[in-house]
Structure 1
């Protein structure tokens, strides 16, 4: 009986130690995420870049849109369409009309989906802190003492989930995954954002891929061609 009691005490101590370590890891990662987001947000205002959005429907490419992005003097992110946009060829006749109607429907949905993406990028430090303070953050170890994945449920709305994968050793965001919906809760969409770094260490969402299975729609957004906004 005494051995069993000692075994239970030991087991509780091990669990307690693991929980304590996990809590400390979560706290450290939260601070790194907040610091990274704040520094990168400020540094991005020095740059301008090209945003290329490619839309796929039923596996086929339907259009490419390019925009020049920069921060205006008032600090607002501005996007101006360039001449690099293109659309897939349209069929003629009745088939063409049906395709045009379908295109209009998909275009509306795609615009809503892209707008939804922007509500998650970059993640809001205050929302992250609140979810953490409420004790809702889940942490997953990807590589012991180096890489972690933190999940933030109900980030923007009930039922959604934002997850941030972090390289704690180098204090960099690796990627962000979001599960949410566009029109109705039943039409789930998932988008995965891979983060990249500029030479000065500024991090930004390099590639974003959105999948909307209910619509057979896929959207890829690539940010590239970064240069100092003062250099023309």
Structure 2
């Protein structure tokens, strides 16, 4: 019996040792990586392009010059030429009469009705991206961090990150100390009524600094998509 017990312990011990870092250790590594990466990004300026689409048609496209201010917050300046993209219906309305004008008015009213909601959806992107080390710290303190099974990379799941009931999945490469994936399930106003999903694709600059190259948020119920692309990075200091 003693030999059997010892043998079982010998088999079990390597499994325990191979379990890897705890959620707290992974959260700490991710927070440290985010802090270092954000410090590097503060030495850059870039262009942010936002497209808001309704039913697959771009309704608004704008570009902003971005850089970090002395207070550590991103400052954005609209670039010339940023304006709502005209829809095909609006183009038809400009050249038509009667029914064309009526159709144009209906389209414009629908767009106006959706405008506030679309802006809320667009604003939601910036509540999640870039990931905030302080919010991760708060989630950790509340016990809302858990290990996510992943091969070749560290995975972390976070719940109640921005809103009650939302979830955040982070992939992290411990060797490179870089985020590999960032996916969110959230909502705009009411859970299940207007659920949204958000996915981030990361790019890497010449000095190794990573950045959110493209963020895509889909509000399926309302058929709205927000796509934010960051490009044109230049050193400012």
Shared fold per TM-score greater than 0.5: yes
Does residue 125 (structure 1) correspond to residue 122 (structure 2)? The answer is no
- Would the aligned equivalents of 2:59 and 2:86 in 1 still touch at CA under 8 Å? yes
Q: How does 1:102-141 map to 2 (within 5 A)?
A: 102-141=110-149
Q: Across the two proteins, how many residue pairs are aligned to each other?
A: 224
Does residue 56 (structure 1) correspond to residue 63 (structure 2)? The answer is no
Distance 2:8 2:118 in 1: 55
- Would the aligned equivalents of 1:22 and 1:139 in 2 still touch at CA under 8 Å? no
Measure how far apart 1:67 and its partner are: 0.9
Structure 1 pair 124/17, CA: closer, same or farther in 2 (3 Å)? farther
Measure how far apart 1:10 and its partner are: 3.2
Distance 2:31 2:113 in 1: 38
Structure 1 pair 20/99, CA: closer, same or farther in 2 (3 Å)? farther
TM-score normalised by structure 2 residue count: 0.83
Does residue 178 (structure 1) correspond to residue 149 (structure 2)? The answer is no
Q: Secondary structure of the residue that 1:110 maps to in structure 2?
A: helix
- Would the aligned equivalents of 2:144 and 2:160 in 1 still touch at CA under 8 Å? no
Gapped runs of 5+ residues in structure 2?
Answer: 94-100
Measure how far apart 1:72 and its partner are: 2.6
Equivalent of 2:163, from 149, 157, 162? 157
Q: Secondary structure of the residue that 1:211 maps to in structure 2?
A: strand
Measure how far apart 1:206 and its partner are: 1.0
Q: Secondary structure of the residue that 1:97 maps to in structure 2?
A: helix
Give CA-to-partner distance per residue, 1:162-219, whole Å, 9 cap, x none. 1111112211101211111112222101111122222222222111000001111111
Residue 108 of structure 2 is matched in structure 1 by 100
Q: Secondary structure of the residue that 2:21 maps to in structure 1?
A: helix
Give CA-to-partner distance per residue, 1:63-87, whole Å, 9 cap, x none. 3211111123343311111124241
- Would the aligned equivalents of 1:39 and 1:202 in 2 still touch at CA under 8 Å? no
Distance 1:17 1:137 in 2: 25
Gapped runs of 5+ residues in structure 1?
Answer: none
Residue 86 of structure 2 is matched in structure 1 by 88
Give CA-to-partner distance per residue, 1:144-177, whole Å, 9 cap, x none. xx31321101112210111111112211101211
Measure how far apart 1:20 and its partner are: 6.2
Distance 1:98 1:148 in 2: 50
Distance 2:9 2:116 in 1: 56
